[in-house]
């Protein structure tokens, strides 16, 4: 199975953070799964690192280097993922979700036929079948 990691899952996995659930760990270390992280996550990490290095001490370069050493695959941004944003809908009753990085990551997972691994409860309100909340 092809798995795309949400940005926070990527960071937690690479830093052995206690917030990473056992279920997520099992999925990530399962040799039958191909683990991907997005160029979009690197972009998000770098912006957050520059804006508040005390909260996010890791730069995108460090994350990319450790991800590569961990055997994760870098997913580039495909224009089809951008075009898919127009189809991304939420229920009228769902809380607002403003994170543009999450939205494009979801679209990348749809276009790439990947399972999107996240801990963000707001993402399940998109009602798409490829999201796995861990």
Residues 14/67, Cβ–Cβ less than 8 Å = yes
Instruction: Give the pair of three-digit tokens for residue 125.
Output: 């309100």
For 1-134, strand residue ranges (E) read 2-5, 34-38, 73-75, 115-118, 131-133
| CA quadruple 90, 42, 39, 63: dihedral sign | negative
Low-confidence ranges of the chain (pLDDT < 70): none
Rounded to an integer, what distance in angstroms lies between the CA atom of residue 90 and that of residue 67? 31
Domains delineated in the chain: 2-133 (3.40.50.1010)
pLDDT of residue 18: 96
Q: What integer pLDDT is reported at residue 91 of this predicted model?
A: 84
Q: What is the pLDDT of residue 85?
A: 96
Q: What's the predicted TM-score (pTM) here?
A: 0.95
Looking at residue 92, its pLDDT comes to: 86
7-30 confidence digits (pLDDT tens): 999 999 999 999 999 999 999 999
Q: What is the pLDDT of residue 133?
A: 92
């Amino acid at each position: 199975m092809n798995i795309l990691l949400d940005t926070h899952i990527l960071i937690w996995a690479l830093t052995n953070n206690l917030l990473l659930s056992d279920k997520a760990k099992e999925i990530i270390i399962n040799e039958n799964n191909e683990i991907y992280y997005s160029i979009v996550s690197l972009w998000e990490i770098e912006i957050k690192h520059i804006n508040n290095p005390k909260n996010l001490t890791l730069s995108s370069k460090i994350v990319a280097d450790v991800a590569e050493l961990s055997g994760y695959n870098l997913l580039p941004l495909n224009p089809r993922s951008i075009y898919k944003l127009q189809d991304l809908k939420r229920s009228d009753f769902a809380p607002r979700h403003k994170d543009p990085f999450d939205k494009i990551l979801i679209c990348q997972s749809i276009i790439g036929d990947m399972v999107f691994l996240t801990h963000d409860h707001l993402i399940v309100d998109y009602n798409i079948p490829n999201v796995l909340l861990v």
